[in-house]
Structure 1
Amino acid sequence: MSIIKDFLLQLTLMVIPIFIYFTFITEKVKGDQNKNVLMTILWGISIILCMSFPLTFGQDARLDLRFIPLLFGTLYLGFRPGVFLSGLVILYRLYSGISIGFYTTVLVLLLSLPVILFFQKSFANSNKDKRVKIAVGLAFYYCLMGLTSFGILNGFSIDAVKVQIIHLIFVVAVTWIFTMLMETIKEIHQLRSELLNSEKLRVVSELSSVFAHEIRNPMQVTRGFLQLLNDPQLPKNKKEYIKISIEELDRANEIIDEFLMLGKPAISNNIKVNAGYQLERVINIIQGYSINHQVEIKTQIQDSCWIDANPQKLNQSLINIMKNAVESMPDGGTVWVTCTSTDDESIKITIKDQGIGMTKKQIDRLGSPFYSLKEKGTGLGMMVSFQIIRSFKGKMIVNSEKGMGTEFIILLPQISKS
């Protein structure tokens, strides 16, 4: 029973480097060379601890699990760490005194290390199952050499052979378990890394789609006004069209800057904004687009609808909603836009159309990435709109009925003008 307790202590001392490596080093240390140096040091510490608390029997006979850190250090890290760890074993054993045990240690290493180094490249290039077989085979070979060398130098006895056989079985079993454990953990880390890379690619894809969608809106508005400027019967408000076109190009540039800043910490740049004024500005922007779709926009906007918001983002959200309202009426119609204050100190913006409407199931999915009722839509415009309203501590309510139109209600906290 004492032998098993001593071996379990050895097992505990050997687990520490594996735990430290996969918990801290793989996540925080950059560079394979740095990782190899740190892991060599950890395996060296494990060897010293195992040799410091050995299982002692007979006359100057000591057994421990030093071989397993030595084996893993050589197979996973390569030639130099293997030689270093072998030298560490010899020096530490020499420090304990020159005896039969020291000569046994040197002899076993001389017989085992070349074989381990011979199989190291094959181990590094093998799959999980073959690695387990190589490690277990080398552990069996080492213990067999140890048993033979011990018997030659110390003589064979039944008790000594029993302990050596127990040592052989324990080392082989632990080598199998820990090789399986390390290979499984490595697979998990690799899968995690691949999953993170896949997630990064997915995020990049979504951001690219959002970027394209948001840039397309001001481009379409600008294109619409440029088409109007080409009309020979252009009304007198030519300067207004040019002004709005320039503002939309500026808005496109702001969107580009915003996407470029996504990787940096977000800075709140909300200011005191008159939502009614911004709504009128958005209506002027969308006016040309709605005329082309034979859609009339009717408004009822109060003067003082003050909120705490980013005007550019607010306009971005309102343009997305109003553009969807216009596009929901392929045969033309009317969009009603209102902005009023409520009794519970909120600003209520309503955008109602006479479009195709939505079912309850469609409403529930509204705002989800890549869900759209339009044939070429991405659904990202509405997703962005929902996020913008939430960032202003507001909420969006959607009421709709199939074939009867849709009503968007935006509720935002009201602030005083002063």
Structure 2
Amino acid sequence: MDLNITKDFLLQLALITTLIFTFEIFFAEKSKIQHYAAIIQAVSWGLSILLCMSFPTYITSGIRVDIRIVPLLLGTLYGGWRTGVSLSALIILYRIYLGVDSGVYTTILTLLCSMAAIIYAQTFFAAAGKNKRLLLALLLSVCYCFVGGITRVWVDGFSFKFLQVQVIYTIISISSVLFFIYIKETVREITEKNRQLQAEARDAEIAFLRSQIKPHFLYNTLNSIAVLCIKDPRKAEELTLEFSQYLRKSFDFKQLDCLTTIENELELVKAYLNIEKVRFGARLFVEYDVTANPDTRIPPLILQPLVENAVRHGLMSNLRGGTVEISIRTEADGAVSFVIEDNGCGMSERQIEEILQSNASKKGVGLWNISQRLKLLYGKSIRIESAVGIGTKVIFNIPAYTAKQNGG
């Protein structure tokens, strides 16, 4: 008989395990449903309770026991007091549906006495570490089982059979609660560690990508100065002064994860364009259309490489030169739209695909680099519209955050 009772409890435990771990494996880490994760998890706890109560252990024909405490305690501790109250109401309503008898009264009394302590402890549980959470869960489990046993004896009387089942019930309930919380806390620790490692890897890659931009630009600028030193020393002097101004602003980024503002980034772009105007003169025209908040935070060195590509590979490949247009606007959804357009030589679809697939091409360093950084930071890439002989347009959107919002 004891073996049958244990089997009944283990069946309930198997049902709880299936539902809870199904959620953890298939739903918890899916970004598309993160907003609904709490609701889905509460539903899984509620279903676990209903299944436990639907397949109870019968001590006698009129006395039934189940381990609803496991999903009830987990739901309250991890879901909050609202979830705990909802699950308690579900237990009472379903118990009444199964039949009004002495078990309904013991159920209500047990919940009234124990849930107050569980809800009170939930605040401490949320702020505690793994070991303290396990200790709190142990104490609350003992409290619930003790209260349940006392109310059952008070309503139905004491029997040796009941004591025997209550011991098995208490052992299984406490062990199950501790097991689930230990697993959840271990999974949480592993998940947080993986997220930290992914963030570190992302930051390292962003640092590498940023490190590619500056040497690329420095190399081109020094070549320009070297050429002008022979042809036009006065212009070489002007170019050197513009270059020093650019370096002063460019090397201002001390933190890997720091952001700059649109205003600061435009100053870098203007410093770069002034350098190129010294070299190319009347062949280079620039137009600005900036209506976005100048304090909006953006990644540093996100515009200059695109402008450089437009100038060097779009315009200056033509003898007549051309115009580069820089547009920065706030969209209706609050995002900031960046458009860098030139009326230069343009590119074919094949060239665009090659540029975005690899950074091996020197002509694609800026485009590929920016595309990779945007993917890492925002999960989206640049969009390129181009036609041979007509020109190229590079477009991307990022969320709008101001310096004030970010504490900068």
Contact 1:55/1:62, CA 8 A, preserved across alignment? yes
- The structural deviation recorded for 1:165 is 0.7
- The structural deviation recorded for 1:224 is 1.5
After superposition, what is the alpha-carbon deviation per residue over 1:114-150, rounded to whole angstroms, capped at 9, x for unaligned? 0101111011111110100001111111111111111
Contact 1:50/1:66, CA 8 A, preserved across alignment? yes
- The structural deviation recorded for 1:309 is 7.6
**Correspondence for 1:179:** 181
After superposition, what is the alpha-carbon deviation per residue over 1:339-362, rounded to whole angstroms, capped at 9, x for unaligned? xxxxxxxxxxxxxxxxxxxxxxxx
The one of 122, 131, 143 aligned to 1:141 = 143
**Correspondence for 2:88:** 86
**Correspondence for 1:210:** 212
Q: Which amino acid aligns with 1:208?
A: R
**Correspondence for 1:200:** 202
Seen in structure 2, the aligned counterparts of structure 1 residues 250 and 20 have a Cα distance that, compared at 3 Å, is: closer
1:314-325 matches, cutoff 5 A: 316=362
**Correspondence for 1:189:** 191
Instruction: Supply the distance in 1 between the matched residues of 2:305 and 2:139 (Cα, whole angstroms).
Output: 70
Q: Which amino acid aligns with 1:42?
A: S
Contact 1:108/1:146, CA 8 A, preserved across alignment? yes
After superposition, what is the alpha-carbon deviation per residue over 1:47-75, rounded to whole angstroms, capped at 9, x for unaligned? 11111111112131111111111111111
Instruction: Supply the distance in 2 between the matched residues of 1:121 and 1:27 (Cα, whole angstroms).
Output: 24
Gaps of 5+ in 2: 237-277, 285-303, 314-337, 340-346, 366-408
Seen in structure 2, the aligned counterparts of structure 1 residues 53 and 105 have a Cα distance that, compared at 3 Å, is: same
Task: Compute the RMSD of aligned alpha carbons.
Answer: 3.6
Seen in structure 2, the aligned counterparts of structure 1 residues 134 and 313 have a Cα distance that, compared at 3 Å, is: closer
The one of 30, 33, 36 aligned to 1:34 = 36
The one of 250, 253, 257 aligned to 2:308 = 253
1:154 aligns with 2:156: yes
Identity of aligned residues (%): 32
**Higher Cα Rg: structure 1 or 2?**
1
Runs of 4+ in structure 1 displaced over 3 angstroms?
29-33, 241-244, 249-252, 255-258, 267-271, 312-315
Instruction: Supply the distance in 2 between the matched residues of 1:269 and 1:27 (Cα, whole angstroms).
Output: 37
Instruction: Supply the distance in 1 between the matched residues of 2:181 and 2:123 (Cα, whole angstroms).
Output: 16
**Residue correspondences, number:** 268
**Correspondence for 1:9:** 11
Instruction: Supply the distance in 2 between the matched residues of 1:253 and 1:126 (Cα, whole angstroms).
Output: 52
Q: Which amino acid aligns with 1:254?
A: N
Contact 2:27/2:33, CA 8 A, preserved across alignment? no
Instruction: Supply the distance in 2 between the matched residues of 1:132 and 1:98 (Cα, whole angstroms).
Output: 35
Contact 1:218/1:251, CA 8 A, preserved across alignment? no
**Correspondence for 1:408:** none
Contact 1:218/1:252, CA 8 A, preserved across alignment? no
Q: Which amino acid aligns with 2:211?
A: S
Gaps of 5+ in 1: 235-240, 262-266, 272-307, 320-418
Q: Which amino acid aligns with 1:316?
A: K
Instruction: Supply the distance in 2 between the matched residues of 1:165 and 1:255 (Cα, whole angstroms).
Output: 78
Q: Matched residue of 2:28: which SS?
A: helix
Contact 1:54/1:62, CA 8 A, preserved across alignment? yes
**Correspondence for 1:124:** 126
